[in-house]
Structure 1
Amino acid sequence: MESIEWSDDELGEDIEAMCRSKAEEFRLLGYEYVTGKDIWDCISRNYAKEGNPPLHKLVNDIYSLKATSYMNYLTIAAYRGLN
């Protein structure tokens, strides 16, 4: 089996596209103002302590993000912003 090498630029573009796709899914569910950057901010908060995860975990984290988890993240971020 042939191994595929990804450049950082290609990987970054693909991750950005996945985040935009997830944001579009949330917009279809009625969350009108979600952007790909918002999705990335929510997902990447978990990686501050752990460092960069394996690609399969990153993809899973993006595509399995639930709207309730995203809304919990926003609520906590809002409370932290008030301090």
Structure 2
Amino acid sequence: MELEQMSEEELMSTIEMVCLSKVEEMHLIGYEYVTSDDIWNCVSSKYEKEGVPSLHQLVNDILSLKATALMNYMTISAYKGSSFD
């Protein structure tokens, strides 16, 4: 199912499920305070210029996100003054 065929609610539900899977993985390797919003904010930050890609690319980007890339993103965001709430 592609993005054009999905409603906004279905898309966000799918993204939330994939992000929660990645959160569970992060918890298993010791990053206990990572949330699905942190995951999504990190992954979606690279889409600001080029727009949202296809669903398979979204899922791939979320599931292949490395802990170091997430921590780098969160550190830079903290320096820029954005909140993590």
* Both proteins in one fold, TM over 0.5: yes
Q: Report the CA distance between 1:10 and its aligned residue.
A: 1.8
Aligned to 2:62: 62
Task: Provide the C-alpha distance between the structure 2 equivalents of 1:12 and 1:72, rounded to a whole number of angstroms.
Answer: 25
Where structure 1 has 5 or more consecutive residues not aligned to the other structure, the ranges are none
- The structure having more radius of gyration, on CA atoms, is 1
TM-score (normalizing by structure 2) = 0.84
Aligned to 2:78: 78
Aligned to 1:32: 32
Q: How many pairs does the alignment contain?
A: 80
TM-score (normalizing by structure 1) = 0.86
Q: Deviations over 1:9-54 (max 9, x none)?
A: 2221111110011011101110010111110011010111111111
Q: Report the CA distance between 1:56 and its aligned residue.
A: 1.3
Q: What is the CA RMSD across the aligned residues, in angstroms? A: 1.8
Task: Provide the C-alpha distance between the structure 2 equivalents of 1:35 and 1:78, rounded to a whole number of angstroms.
Answer: 15
Identity of aligned residues (%): 59
